[in-house]
């Protein structure tokens, strides 16, 4: 009878390669109104980002790309009718980007949802361990690159519970709704809670 062999421990490189392969798997079978991977990433970002982060700079920071590259991606989505641009009321220099009904319909066919469905096969404890490990990798990478690791407001060190209004961002001095707590923020200083 053959002896069972024990699996070799995963290497750092194999974990990084698996994360990369998983990211690329989301685009394997995209069809319909074809968008580039960068355009899909932008739509996903603007669908999840909070009101302070839905800018070209926010998208560039979150996806670790240049402002020029982010601007080209955003401009193409505005031209195709997927995003609208509104002048910011906070500073007047930047613009806030919002999804259109066309982009919401497109996101309902997002090839990334196949990866989400595959993740649903994990047990809750496995999901928590995997999310924690990936978050740790992203935080370490952010430290190495001397940048913040954007995350949801609920994980942020700037989040404060306010007795009167619910939640408050100490960095931007703005109240936050309960809905905004789960949205992505490029100003987040994730401290590993959650």
d(CA 52, CA 119): 29
Q: What is the pLDDT of residue 59?
A: 93
CB 117 within 8 A of CB 22: no
Q: What is the pLDDT of residue 83?
A: 97
This prediction has a pTM of 0.75
Among 140, 169, 141, 138, CA closest to 156: 169
Q: If one looks up domain 18-121 in CATH, what number appears?
A: 1.10.10.10
Q: What residue ranges do the domains of the chain occupy?
A: 18-121
Q: At 56, list the tokens.
A: 């070209």
CB-based contacts of 161: which residues, under 8 Å, 6+ apart?
167, 168
164-167 contact pairs (CB < 8 A, 24+): none
Q: At 172, list the tokens.
A: 């931007």
pLDDT in tens, the chain (194 residues): 556 556 677 788 888 888 888 877 777 655 555 788 889 999 999 999 988 889 999 999 888 889 999 999 999 999 999 999 998 776 777 889 999 999 999 998 888 888 888 899 999 999 989 888 888 887 787 777 676 666 676 667 777 776 666 777 777 777 777 777 777 777 776 544 33
Q: What is the pLDDT of residue 150?
A: 65
Q: What is the pLDDT of residue 148?
A: 65
Kind of pairing between the strands at 159-162 and 174-176: unpaired
Task: Report helix, strand and coil shares of the chain as percent, to nearest 5.
Answer: 45, 15, 40
d(CA 159, CA 170): 6
């Amino acid at each position: 009878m053959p002896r069972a062999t024990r699996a070799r421990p995963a290497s750092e490189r194999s974990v990084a390669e698996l994360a990369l392969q998983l990211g690329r798997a989301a685009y394997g079978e995209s069809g319909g109104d074809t968008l580039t991977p960068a355009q899909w990433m932008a739509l996903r970002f603007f669908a999840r980002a909070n009101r302070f982060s839905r800018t070209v700079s926010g998208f560039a920071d979150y996806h670790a790309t240049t402002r020029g590259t982010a601007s080209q991606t955003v401009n193409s989505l505005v031209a195709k009718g997927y995003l609208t641009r509104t002048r910011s009321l906070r500073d007047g220099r930047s613009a806030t980007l919002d999804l259109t009904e066309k982009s919401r319909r497109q996101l309902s066919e997002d090839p990334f949802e196949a990866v989400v469905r595959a993740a649903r096969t994990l047990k809750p404890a496995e999901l928590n361990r995997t999310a924690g490990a990936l978050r740790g990798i992203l935080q370490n990478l952010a430290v190495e690159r001397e940048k913040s690791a954007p995350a949801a407001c609920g994980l942020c060190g700037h989040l404060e519970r306010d007795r009167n209004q619910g939640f408050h961002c100490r960095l931007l001095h703005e109240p936050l709704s309960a809905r905004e707590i789960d949205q992505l923020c490029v100003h987040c200083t994730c401290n590993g809670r959650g």
